[in-house]
């Protein structure tokens, strides 16, 4: 029962009179299950890590109501190690992959691939924002809920929309690449009472008059990933145009990118334990979940519904229409990346895992995955865009601020910009939210109304962000297949070698020796 016989008939070799039939060992159902189990062991363990982390967190919380920051730090320690390992890979992987992928393509093909990816990003982000706006206007989670009912937590930044957009543009062109690896540019507004005393008495009454605020510029801690992406794209294009002279440099980046993928294949095995401790420590340090859900439950539900529709209906549908392939297997093959995104709440930290899933399980051409994934992880955040739109309009509803069609259009544009500007790190969307709030005339400090549930929503939106990037890469690869094949047919030695090297390290982590 359950035995399938497979036989492969080989054509006779010259001088070999008889066709030779080779009987492959029959595969029993048990063997098949074992193979399937082996291939998905790590993903199953990682899912168990998330669930186990939840159980552990709530059990520890029940055993002792208040946990000191030191105790939480001990629980988080292993999770931090895992996160650091992934974070350490981000910059070398991102820079080398983009440079190597773009440098190995000719300019026409790389601009076609780039154009397709950007079109997909713009289309899906716009759709995400649109869904968010429709849902928040239908469900109206903030109506009949005064802001005084909601506990404010955390603090906010005091900047304007113009500052946020200009910071985004400044960060695209870092003055110092080494510094960009560790710091990013930021405008800081500080109130200067002495200046206020000098202004016209009528103006003085308005504390927010422009004369009394100093504009300072500072570099704050945190990698300027956007700046590094822009530079890598430019360097890749330059190498592609240099011909023979650029080849040695291209080789360095190719080799570096490959090395980072090898390390990723090792680090990935830390995921189950890493996410277990990340999730459990987060549960230990959170506010009382009951209060939070009673205050913000409907808002939470609206965002979650939107994320689910977008991540599991809209973008898979776009993928299916574009590729005429079923998205289920593709998404199932990305499970490891999806769980990592949920566990780390960071699309940048999940990037190595997403690229490994894409190349080794979905067999995506690495010239596409290494080109579009790092860019997608930096600028394409559908989940964040949807959340920004819902959150801003939710706060407007809570504060009873009327908003018309004009505001809705402005929210759509700023939510899209805010998602592009948000870094792929935990709760970055909250920081860029300020400019979306500004468009409906709300003060920056109103983000404190939604901070309580943000850590949890962040995990869901990061999952959708990562899924959106992966499906986009799959779609772009499909649309570019003919051109890539034509490049291979030209006998481009580099691309042929790349395919071979990909095949060599394929399935290193998804095929567990059993
Ligand atoms: N945590 C998100 C990400 O890394 C960004 C955000 O929405 O806060 O994709």
pLDDT tens digits for range 406-449 = 888 888 999 999 898 888 899 888 888 888 888 888 887 888 88
Token pair, residue 456, equals 């949890």
Give, for ligand 1, the residue of 278, 347, 376 to mutate: max count of ligand atoms closer than 8 Å to Cβ: 347
Distance between CA atoms of residues 407 and 299, nearest Å: 20
Q: Compute the distance between CA of residue 457 and CA of residue 426 in angstroms, rounded to an integer.
A: 10
3-state secondary structure of 20: strand
Element counts in the chain: helices (H) and strands (E)? 21, 4
DSSP 187-212: EEEEE-HHHHHHS-HHHHT-TT-GGG
What are the pocket residues of ligand 1 if the criterion is a CB atom closer than 6 Å to any ligand atom? 345-347, 381, 384, 422, 424-429, 458, 461-462, 465
How far is Cα 163 from Cα 168, in angstroms, rounded to an integer?
9
The residue to mutate among 428, 463, 467, having the most atoms of ligand 1 within 8 angstroms of its beta carbon, is 428
Q: What angle do CA 157, 158, 163 make, to 5 degrees?
A: 100
Q: Name the pTM for this structure.
A: 0.82
State in Å: Cα 430 to ligand 1 middle: 9
Residue 332 has pLDDT above 50, yes or no: yes
Q: Which residue has the higher pLDDT, 332 or 188?
A: 332
Ligand 1 atom, smallest distance to 419 CA:
7
Question: What's the CA-to-centroid distance between 427 and ligand 1, angstroms?
Answer: 6
Residue 194 CB coordination number (10 Å): 7
Distance 457 CA to ligand 1 centre (A): 10
pLDDT digits (tens, 9 = 90+) for 455-506: 889 999 999 999 999 999 999 999 999 888 888 887 654 544 454 455 445 4
| C-alpha of residue 123 to centroid of ligand 1, in Å | 19
301 in Cβ contact with 396 (< 8 Å): no
Expressed in angstroms and rounded, the spacing between residue 59 Cα and the centre of ligand 1 is 28
pLDDT band with cut points at 50, 70 and 90 for residue 17: very low
Local confidence band at 512 (pLDDT 50, 70, 90 cut-offs): very low
Chain segment 251-310, per-residue pLDDT in tens:
999 999 999 989 988 998 999 999 999 999 988 887 766 766 777 889 999 999 999 999
Q: Please choose from 383, 419, 434 the residue to mutate so as to test ligand 1's pocket, defined by most ligand atoms within 8 A of CB.
A: 383
Dist. CA 177–CA 225, nearest whole Å: 10
Please choose, from the candidates 394, 428, 436, 444, the residue with its C-alpha nearest in 3D space to the C-alpha of residue 412: 436
pLDDT of residue 156: 59
Q: In a mutational test of the pocket of ligand 1, which residue from 417, 426, 433 has the highest number of ligand atoms less than 8 Å from its CB?
A: 426
Please name the residues in contact with 30: beta carbons below 8 A apart, sequence gap of 6 or more. 2
Strands 183-191 and 20-23 turn out to be: unpaired
Q: What is the CA radius of gyration of the chain?
A: 25
* 37-49 average pLDDT score: 83
How far, in Å, from the CA of 370 to the mean position of ligand 1?
Answer: 20
């Amino acid at each position: 029962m359950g035995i399938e016989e497979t036989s492969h008939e080989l054509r006779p070799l010259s001088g070999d009179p008889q066709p030779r039939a080779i009987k492959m060992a029959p595969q029993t159902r048990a063997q098949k299950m074992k193979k399937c189990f082996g291939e998905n062991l790590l993903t199953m363990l990682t899912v168990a890590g998330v669930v186990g982390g939840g159980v552990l967190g709530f059990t520890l919380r029940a055993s002792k109501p208040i946990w000191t920051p030191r105790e939480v730090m001990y629980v988080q320690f292993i999770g931090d190690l895992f996160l650091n390992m992934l974070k350490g890979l981000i910059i070398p992987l991102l820079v080398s992959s983009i440079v190597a992928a773009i440098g190995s393509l000719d300019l026409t093909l790389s601009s076609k691939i780039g154009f397709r990816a950007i079109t997909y990003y713009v289309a899906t982000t716009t759709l995400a924002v649109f869904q968010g706006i429709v849902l928040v206007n239908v469900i109206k989670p903030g109506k009949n809920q005064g802001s005084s009912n909601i506990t404010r937590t955390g603090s906010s930044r005091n900047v304007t929309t113009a500052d946020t957009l200009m910071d985004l543009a400044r960060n695209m062109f870092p003055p110092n690449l080494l510094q960009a690896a560790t710091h990013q540019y930021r405008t800081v507004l500080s109130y200067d009472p002495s200046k206020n005393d000098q202004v016209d008495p009528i103006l003085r009454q308005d504390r927010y008059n422009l004369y009394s605020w100093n504009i300072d510029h500072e570099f704050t801690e945190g990698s300027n990933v956007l700046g590094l992406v822009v530079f890598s794209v430019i360097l890749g294009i330059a190498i592609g145009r240099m011909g023979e002279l650029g080849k040695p440099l291209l080789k360095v980046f190719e080799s570096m990118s490959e090395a980072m993928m090898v390390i990723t294949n090792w680090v990935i095995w830390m995921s189950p334990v890493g996410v277990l401790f990340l999730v459990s420590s987060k549960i230990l340090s959170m506010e009382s979940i009951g209060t939070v859900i009673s205050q913000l439950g409907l808002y939470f539900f609206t965002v979650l519904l939107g994320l689910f529709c977008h991540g599991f209906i809209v973008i898979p549908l776009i993928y299916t229409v574009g590729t005429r392939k079923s998205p289920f297997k593709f998404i199932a093959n990305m499970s490891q990346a999806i769980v990592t995104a949920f566990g780390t709440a960071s699309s940048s930290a999940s990037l190595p895992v997403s690229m490994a899933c894409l190349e080794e399980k979905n067999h995506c051409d690495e010239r596409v995955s290494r080109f579009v994934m790092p860019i997608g992880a930096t600028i394409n955040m559908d989940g964040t865009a949807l959340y920004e739109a819902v959150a801003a309009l939710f706060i407007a509803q809570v504060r009873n601020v009327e908003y018309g069609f004009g505001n809705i259009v402005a929210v759509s544009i700023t939510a899209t910009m805010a998602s592009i500007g948000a870094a792929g790190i935990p709760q970055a969307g909250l920081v860029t939210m300020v400019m979306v709030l500004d468009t409906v005339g709300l003060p920056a400090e109103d983000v404190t109304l939604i901070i309580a549930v943000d850590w949890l929503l962040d995990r869901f939106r990061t999952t959708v962000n990562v899924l959106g990037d992966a499906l986009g890469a799959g779609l772009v690869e499909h649309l570019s297949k003919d051109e890539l094949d034509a490049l291979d047919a030209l006998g481009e030695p580099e691309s042929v070698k790349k395919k071979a090297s990909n095949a060599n390290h394929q399935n290193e982590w998804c095929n567990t020796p059993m």
